[in-house]
Amino acid sequence: MAHTKAQRAVKGNRDSRARRLGVKKYGGEVVVAGNIIMRQKGTRFWAGEGTMLTNDFTIMALKPGKVEFVKNLGKTYICVV
């Protein structure tokens, strides 16, 4: 006789989904207010004119326009003009 019982298939072996970080709208693309331009961990990019930095470091458009990446004093700003 067998010394161990038959075992069921594992149901709890699922992994969590990835965080989907990165640029969502690139330079020159047209955005409307509320569009997410960048999802990031920490302040790799900074919010410039026409954008805002949310509490999870997402950069969103505040007004319609074109996305622009601007480098200034070692920081990269994302602007909507």
Domains of the chain by residue range: 22-80
Q: Classify domain 22-80 by CATH number.
A: 2.40.50.100
Predicted structure pTM score: 0.79
Q: What is the DSSP string of 27-69?
A: TT-EE-TT-EEEE-SSSSSEE-TTEEE-TTS-EEESSSEEEEE
Residue 10 has a pLDDT of 75
Confidence class for position 2, pLDDT limits 50, 70, 90: low
Using one digit for the tens of pLDDT, what is the confidence trace for 13-43? Answer: 788 899 999 999 999 999 999 999 999 999 9
12 against 71, higher pLDDT: 71
Residue 42, sorted as left (phi over 0), alpha (psi -120 to 50) or beta, turns out to be: left
